[in-house]
Structure 1
Amino acid sequence: MMCPRIQLRFSPMPESQRGSVTVLMVIALAAITMLAALALDGGHMLLNKTRLQNAVDAAALSGAKTLSQVSGGTGIASTTRAAALNTLTLNANASGNTELAAAIGGNAGSFAVVELANSVYGPFSYPGPADATYVRVTVSSYRLTGFFWSFVQSLGTPGLGNKAVAAMATAGPSPTSPCDLAPLMVCGDPSQYNPGAGNFWGYRFGDLQDLKTASGTSSAIGPGNFQLLDFGSGGSTVREDLAGGGSECRTVGQNVTTSPGNKVGPTSQGLNTRFGQYAGGVKASDYPPDLVVSYSTPVIANNSGDLQYNGQTITSNNGTLTAGSQTVLGYNEWRASTAACVAGTGSGCQSNGVFERRMLKIVIGDCSGKNNGATSIPVLGFGCYFVVQPAGGTGTTSEIFGQFVSECSGDNVPGPNPSGDTGPLIIQLYKTYINGSGTPSNDS
């Protein structure tokens, strides 16, 4: 049987349809071009957003660090703002940031806004409150070159607006467990902890304390102890740690072990580097002095538990030390002098000095019970103590006197929350929140 043959016939395209393929190709090419243009400009925006955010983050950190250093001085807000804007400019002038440098144009003050607050949640303003501790840096509009931006707009997408990016950053203190502890301990009262009332295990801001007792003086720790801790191999470790070269970390709830013995030489040799005094093999290149090394003379003495200056009992009033009608140089005077040194307006500043070298991070322990010789004591917390004078070099004078201070610079890993406590703190970045709320900004 023969199968029928099927024959296909194609009719020529009508004349009216021959141009439709060309139109479709033009439309497709236009769409592809538009997508390519958006990809190029979008990538350019993302790159510059990242560069801008990095620069703003660094500016906020620099401002917050400077703010912590100049607190207690004059012109706090302007000095903080200048530090933040200077860091922003330095980052813009770094390799690869030519476009950002051109946008700033040598006038960072008109490009970015620096504001201060005493809470990470704001409200932020300039010059901000007198007790400000947080810094926010904002760049609301960083205009960028549009390679194909105007071309895309011309194709019917004017809603794109100008090609620009924005960035915000907030920085401030956060509590941390220190890793540069001095090998010293003071005894605290576990029942006397009320930070809201300014009471920290029985210590209050400005209190003058004997941080290391001398021969012939009693210690709250127990017989044979001079408030030294065992962080390693004897006197050499005491010398290094008191000079600032240690790396001892402790946390609340851990135990520390006391170290019997006076260790007079290592104590003075290590601590006194903070005043620019060197002996026992320690060097200024390894252990520079504080920015401010001045202290009152004659020095403070311990008279059977009574801390005296020129024979008069010393009292503290909100950080200011007096002995009768005499003023004793203490934390408040040092703070004002340090702020002036950081701002570049001070006198007597050590050219190779380092901020807060006269601040010690010390264990506050629970010394309840009987403690004889080497003993293990629980850690209640950590205290910041400002050292008021060098340590003496004999058994009867090798004491360390310090004032209890609410906050000081720390190290180690920062906590996850804004600072609501005192003690060793570290400056870190926070999510930027809309003023007065817990709502985070999308530009931080």
Structure 2
Amino acid sequence: MSKHTKYSNRSIQKQQGAVAIIVAICLTLLVGMLGLVLDLGHLYVAKTELQNAADSASLSGAKELNGRVTGITSAVARAIEAAGKNNYDLNSNPVVINASNIWVGSCPSDGCMVPISSVTTDALAGDKTFVKVDTGLRSLNTWFIQVLPSIASTTQTFGMAVAGKYKVDITPVAICELPDPGTTHEFGYERGVSYKVSEANPIGPGTMFWIDPESNVPGVCPATSTNATLPYVCTGKTGFTPVAGGTVNTNTGISVPQLSALDSRFGDYTPQNNCDPATAPPDVNVKEYRYNNAGVGAPRDWMGTDPNKQTIQFVQRANVNNLCSQPSRPCMSKPYGLRTATDYGVLWSGFRRSGATVGQWPALYSGNTATSYPEPSPYSQGSGNFFTAPPVATQPGKAGRRVLNMVIVDCTTAGGVCRPAPVLAVGRFLMQRRSNVPGDRDIFVEFGGLLPTPLPTSDIKLYR
């Protein structure tokens, strides 16, 4: 009996020792797992903090890109500033970056990116529309996970983001470069002079070039149909940034629904154009400046010689004494030295030659004069005879909606469907009147000069 009791006590002691070992092992594993959870949570929070810094830095930098070195410089400053407003490691350390953490490119992919410090000229900056920010690896001290053997005492993480332009303020209509008219001009266009878009081309009157609003990759045209382009024509935006020296894909033809979509700027909303006033509001001034209007506020109210046409006279390139009115006859605006007052259409409805004054009209426009010209321009008026508010039923107007940013292209290779054309510049053109007018469907615009910076404004979004 005594032997049996002695044996049982030893067995119990051994079992208690084994349980203690198991409990110790389990506690170690549990503490390790708890440490793993806590340290992974710490890593996740730090990753999120760094990612937020990269996101804000890339968005802030991309907004500054304007196609010039000045924009590159501003992008660096704004990105660094935006990143510095963020902290990481549970909000305990500021995120500090410098130019070495920033890249720019012509597309959001790494293959398009170059270090931002390498962009030192306007020529190099011209096509840079995307900013990439990488915060670099940041070390974090681990907490409880260090109880496990062979586990590092620190971990690392980073934030990376790419932001760039989309929904660029470019109306998907191309206008062709014109021959030198013999006076001050920009790619053949004179400020304050109006043009009929379908005549400004090398093919002949009646032809217009639209551009694919979704792609500038040569031969890749996902939006060539009328229905596909209407939303872009309504809003006056494209899904990419046309830059001088690049290309756009041109499509030939005039579509009544597309012309109607342009007229949303005058408060016209029909099932034909399918424009939404919320995204395509009218202009704040929808007054039309038609050459043949007889009422108050018409062009004849400020032009000494009543205009007898809407735009400048176009003539044949081969023979400037012949009007350009036949298909397959390349057109050009009548040379400056051959013009008379009646060769001009509606002048100065929104723009004028740089620095020009009303008193210079007789010298500038072959004897024409300006009478009762409303400074600074008829289109800029906010009341009176030269102003008309948008229809009450539509959304509130948006200033400048009638000013179309249009690409000026070399049209010698354009025509047909999905034909690449070189981009020469982006110009500002004021719509003087509606386009979808029965019997005279076309786009009539007044040239206001090239954009002050090569890259038009646009919305900015994160790409990755």
Q: TM-score, normalised by structure 2?
A: 0.45
Q: TM-score, normalised by structure 1?
A: 0.46
